[in-house]
Structure 1
Amino acid sequence: MPEELTFDDQVAVVTGAGRGLGRAHALLLAERGAAVVVNDVQDPEPVVREIIRAGGRAAASTHDIADEGQAHRLIDHAVDTFGRLDALVNNAGVIHIAPFEQQTRAHLDRMMGVHVLGTWALTQAAWRVFREQRYGRIVVTTSAAGLFGMKHPPQAAYSAAKSALVGLTLSLAAEAEAHDVKVNALAPRAFTPLQAQHMTDAGQAERLAVAQPADAVSPVVAALAHRSCPVNGQVLFACGGQVQRAFTGLTAGITTGSVLTPEEVVDRIGEIVDTSEFTVPEPYVAPRGMQ
């Protein structure tokens, strides 16, 4: 059996932790010994009380991470309360479901504000702490909708925001490597109260609650937030007892000695999109003079 992963004397911030996935993450980290700052714009206090009743350490935060100043104050709150910060779990999120033609700029701004700008601001505030102490673990929550698109229900703005987080994760991971800071992303699939609000089939909701519980995803978060985390710059998909790596690859495609014509591209599109052979590129390095 592998050695048990504990978080004794470690401090973690978990956003969106008042319910659903964030609550499950916070409870597991606290159970393993971490002091947890439970952040939620609604009511984090029940989760804090739950952790304390179980003998753990926790503090509440209602900072709105979509506001840059409040995101920075959240990190200050964690350090002031517990004396340090070791792990940041970016979990907070919102969903908007509507056909693309009905989604407005306001909807897109809301998705980007919470998912992308919130994660950006909070991670940047924690980044300064992690770089100074030369240690830190960052978990970014993306989604299958951001990795593969979403056919149903329609949520283009949500997918766009979650996709942006993948690029952020990969770039930060490459930059963080020299400072013993590791940045990884999680694409969870779990039944949560947020999903329940948009479901009309009670029977399906009950089945999903059993098959895809939120606490089945949290062990992956704990592994990525732990000091022994063996990976950096990875995107992991987790659902129930299943964990997989998600990645962006390049097919073997076609290579010619001359510039292709549009007709040749169409004629050979089968070879271009064939995924039987592929490579996974390393982080992009800009040509000299562009850096």
Structure 2
Amino acid sequence: MTGRVLIIAGSDSGGGAGIQADLKSVTALGGYAATAITALTAQNTEGVHGVLPIPPAFIRQQMDVVLRDIGADALKTGMLHDSPTIAAVCDGIAVEAPGIPLVADPVMVAKGGHPLLQPDAVEALKRRLIPLATLITPNLPEAEVLTGLRITDEAEMQAAMSSLLALGARAVLLKGGHLEGPRVIDLLGTPQGITRFEDSRIETRHTHGTGCTLASAIAAGLAQGMPLAEAVARARRYVRAAILAAPGLGRGHGPLNHAVTVDPARLP
């Protein structure tokens, strides 16, 4: 087990997204995951039915005690919910974890449409969190909110990249899964240029937690010393394998098989 990742995100009671997906992903890729929980959600494959925020001081305490004792080789943020939460998390990173790679997933809306970030917190996300990030991983709707641009095809994805990088993150993985068509295209942008990733689309309703899973898998790679592009490539392969092996649970957007890398037959 190599690579310590501190995950700062919300809990998904259904186990398919959020902290639960993050823990499974990092573990499945051979890393060690610790957590600071920012919110509790009552959630299943059909949607989010309730949200209970965690007091910012307690979020900060979770971060501080883990970082002082266990430490971290990478950080990953997910659902941060509101401006006080973002402020607490950013203050904690600045004090306890300066220079540690941060993968920031700008979680705004759940798969079923429930808002997970308060509207007035978007500016706090842009002003405080994104400039701390090694990588941000917006999907297209999130990128549209962050930039104010309409993104409907690959050309517009490429055009939006400069605006996303201008927010201050060192790199952006712009995920194109919301575009229609038989191929899924993601773009990894840095000041040095754009790397294009492409795969055939998997037609399935079992995609709950793909964003959380991808970001955590990338964080695991960075914690293990992988270059960014290699960490992204491995994380995309992992997410694809987990979708293909999805267990088919629930009546809505079902979870992935995060244990796709695990072989119980290898136990002594």
TM-score scaled by length of structure 2: 0.41
Question: Which structure has the higher relative contact order (CA within 8 Å, separation 6+)?
Answer: 2
Relative to total residues, which structure has the larger helix share, 1 or 2? 1
Instruction: Name which one, 1 or 2, has greater alpha-carbon Rg.
Output: 1
Higher strand content, 1 or 2: 2
